[in-house]
């Protein structure tokens, strides 16, 4: 079938013959707009100019996902899969170029089944990490799962691309804790760990979403947490020594005991040190006074709580916010953002930080978030999983520019200016980036002869995956040589060089 010329008529007929009518929303269906919007995070991808899907398929079981893929392959219409819709470039529901495509929205496939005795869970891709946290802590107090900080992130995309969070220094990325998975491949088959083979099982744990198939469900290892954890937020202004504290933090944080994670949010004229400690206040005070006295942490900074409460508190800063807020899937469409990322392997000097801080005075709408590595996340070998930013990485930087209706130009100029300024200070050859902080500025695929070219993919791919990119492309060649699962930054199939 010719993808370029497909108008979608045959595809829609195929869907209506294979799926219950109410699960397929074409553009003229009354709920198309609201379902499309339901998990869009970034209003810049919801404009009249946005390339929207031909239809949205909302599966309620695995056979519906298979049918959508089979109809798509047969009639030359690609599907993009959406779990939580948090992709920073919106690639799960919009196309950068004109294209007739469909969205398979997994929001209704979101069961979490917990085996407390085995300390494992099966979680469907359409669940959010907040739903996962809540289900785990309620069913198995004492167990937890290491994943990201924002509760509404979808499990499907997050686990596909890694999963940076406050417990990764002790337990690794979310994807490091995946022990089985089920996936619908480009032939419409459902495969699990044993039937998909080692390469594909390796690739889906960090190789980025949208390239290899549609992951339906993940079996994850749950991890032990104590009944009481301790959280702190310590704000330091530039006048209170923020520059010195951040400079020192760079080498201290990645070397701290694994139970302790301190991330930093650099904001206009100040830095916020945010920490989760898997233990009580007294033990944390002892560790902080021996390892990082410069921060001046005091007993009054301690907030003791359960691990589940900490997943709420980190965003709300309020112990009264109900735990049920983790189950809220509604997203606000008020803030436009642009995000970029880097990795730092050699500490940035105090003089350079003196120059970085004033960048935040030029805007009221930009921050950077520094996430410490080291510990478990840094001790896994670079080639064991697609995520290559392991040994020797001190921390990840996430750049965030945000704006409301107007101000796009200022904000995007600001973030690209800062990114250019940082170039000599961060990892190089290649300059690293994190696939879950998707950024189309670092490269977009070119399609040659109907298939994404390896060379175009390499440009962005080696930034996300380093030396693992080639194995990802070979795996793609093995499982989807025809490049059915394709987007602007999907892994290209590499067939000839094997």
Which residues are near ligand FDA by CB under 6 A?
41, 80-88, 91-92, 106, 125, 148-150, 153-154, 156-158, 160-165, 209-210, 214-215, 436
Q: How far is the CB of 335 from ligand FDA (least distance, A)?
A: 9
* CB closer to ligand FDA, 41 vs 236: 41
In the complex, the smallest distance separating the C-beta of residue 405 from ligand FDA, rounded to whole angstroms, is 19
* Least distance in angstroms from the C-beta of 293 to ligand FDA: 28
Q: What is the distance between the terminal CA atoms of the chain, rounded to a whole angstrom?
A: 27
Which residue number, 85 or 279, has a Cβ lying nearer to ligand FDA?
85
CB of 151 to ligand FDA, least distance (A): 9
Shortest reach from residue 141's CB to ligand FDA, in Å: 24
The residue among 82 and 458 lying less far from ligand FDA, judged by its C-beta, is: 82
- Closest to ligand FDA by CB, 215 vs 243, is 215
Q: Which residue is nearest to ligand FDA (CB)?
A: 209
76 three-class SS: coil
Query: Minimum CB separation from ligand FDA for residue 162, in Å?
Result: 6
Give 3-state DSSP helix, strand, coil % of the chain, rounded to 5: 35, 20, 40
The nearest distance, CB 296 to ligand FDA, in angstroms, is 27
Nearer to ligand FDA, 336 or 353 (CB): 336
> Smaller CB distance to ligand FDA: residue 114 or 214?
214
Least separation, in Å, of the C-beta of 75 and ligand FDA?
20
HSE (CB half, 13 Å, CA atoms) of 52?
19
- From the number of C-beta atoms within 10 Å of its C-beta (0-12, 13-18, 19+), residue 430 rates as middle
Min. distance of Cβ 184 from ligand FDA in angstroms? 9
Of 481, 494, 440, 495, residue with least CA distance to 464: 440
The residue (of 162 and 374) whose beta carbon lies closer to ligand FDA is: 162
Q: Which residues contact 373 (CB under 8 A, 6 or more apart)?
A: 168, 169, 254, 389, 390, 393, 394, 395, 396
Host H or E run for residue 135: helix 129-139
Which of 247, 274 has the CB closer to ligand FDA?
274
Number of residues written out for the chain: 498
Nearest to 132 by CA among 90, 198, 83: 83
Q: What token pair was written down for 220?
A: 């994850």
Strand duo 336-344 + 395-403: pairing = antiparallel
If the CB atoms of residues 82 and 243 are measured against ligand FDA, the closer one turns out to be: 82
The kind and range of the H/E element at 201 are: helix 198-203
SS (H, E, C) 250-292: HHHHHHCCCCEEEEEEEECCEEEEEEEECCCHHHHHHHHHHHC
Least distance from C-beta 355 to ligand FDA, angstroms? Answer: 27
Compare residues 148 and 279 and give the one whose CB is closer to ligand FDA: 148
Distance separating alpha carbons of residues 471 and 124, to the nearest angstrom? 26
Alpha carbons 249 and 234: distance in angstroms, whole number: 13
Structure-block tokens of residue 226: 């104590």
CB of 424 to ligand FDA, least distance (A): 26
Q: Which is nearer to ligand FDA, 84 or 432 (CB)?
A: 84
CB of 101 to ligand FDA, least distance (A): 11
Q: Which of 314, 315, 371 is nearest to 341 (CA)?
A: 371
* Beta bridge pairs of residue 55: 26, 102
CA-nearest of 169, 275, 272 to 231 is: 275
Q: Residue 411 is encoded by which pair of tokens?
A: 């904000």
Q: Which two tokens stand for residue 452?
A: 């994404």
Distance (Å, rounded) from C-alpha 207 to C-alpha 203? Answer: 5
Distance of alpha carbon 498 from alpha carbon 490, whole angstroms: 19
Identity of the residue, 394 or 435, whose beta carbon is nearer to ligand FDA in the bound complex: 435
């Amino acid at each position: 079938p010719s993808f370029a010329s497909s108008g979608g008529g045959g595809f829609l007929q195929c869907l209506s013959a294979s799926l219950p009518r109410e699960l397929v929303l074409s553009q003229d269906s009354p709920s198309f707009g609201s379902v499309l919007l339901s998990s869009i995070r970034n209003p810049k991808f919801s404009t009249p100019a946005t390339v929207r899907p031909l239809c949205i398929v909302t599966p309620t079981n695995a056979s519906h996902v298979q049918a959508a893929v089979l109809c798509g392959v047969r009639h030359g219409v690609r599907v993009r899969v959406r779990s939580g819709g948090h992709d920073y470039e919106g690639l799960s529901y919009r196309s950068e170029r004109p294209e007739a495509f469909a969205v398979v929205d997994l929001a209704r496939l979101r069961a979490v089944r917990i085996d407390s005795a085995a300390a494992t869970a099966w979680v469907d891709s359409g669940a959010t990490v907040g739903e996962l946290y809540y289900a785990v802590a309620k069913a198995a107090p004492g167990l937890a799962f290491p994943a990201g900080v924002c509760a509404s992130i979808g499990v499907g995309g997050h686990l596909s691309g890694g999963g940076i969070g406050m417990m990764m220094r002790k337990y690794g990325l979310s994807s490091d804790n995946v022990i089985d998975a089920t996936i619908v491949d480009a032939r419409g088959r459902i495969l699990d760990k044993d039937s998909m083979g080692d390469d594909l099982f390796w690739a889906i744990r960090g190789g980025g979403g949208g390239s290899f198939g549609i992951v339906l469900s993940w079996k994850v290892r749950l991890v032990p947490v104590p009944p009481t954890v301790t959280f702190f937020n310590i704000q330091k202004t530039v006048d209170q020594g923020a520059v010195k504290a951040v400079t020192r933090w760079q080498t201290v944080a990645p070397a701290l005991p694994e139970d302790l994670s301190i991330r930093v949010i650099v904001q206009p004229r100040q830095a916020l040190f945010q920490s989760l400690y898997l233990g009580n206040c007294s033990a944390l005070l002892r560790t902080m006074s021996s390892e990082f006295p410069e921060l001046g942490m005091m007993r009054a900074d301690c907030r003791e709580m359960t691990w589940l409460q900490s997943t709420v508190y980190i965003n709300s800063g309020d112990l009264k916010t109900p735990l049920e807020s983790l189950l809220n899937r509604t997203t606000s469409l008020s803030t436009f953002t642009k995000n970029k990322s880097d990795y730092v392997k050699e500490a940035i000097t105090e003089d350079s930080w003196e120059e970085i801080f004033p960048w935040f005075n030029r805007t009221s709408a930009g921050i950077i978030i520094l996430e410490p590595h080291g510990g478990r996340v840094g001790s896994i070998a670079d080639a064991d999983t697609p995520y290559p930013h392991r040994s020797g990485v001190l921390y990840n930087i996430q750049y965030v520019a945000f704006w409301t209706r107007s101000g796009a130009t200022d904000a995007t100029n600001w973030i690209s200016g800062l990114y250019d300024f940082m170039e000599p200070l961060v990892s190089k050859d290649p300059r690293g980036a994190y696939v879950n902080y998707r950024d189309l500025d670092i490269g977009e695929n070119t399609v040659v002869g109907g298939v994404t070219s390896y060379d175009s993919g390499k440009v962005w791919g080696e930034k996300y995956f380093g030396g693992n990119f080639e194995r990802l492309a070979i795996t793609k060649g093995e499982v989807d040589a025809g490049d059915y699962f394709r987007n602007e930054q999907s892994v290209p199939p590499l067939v000839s060089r094997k």
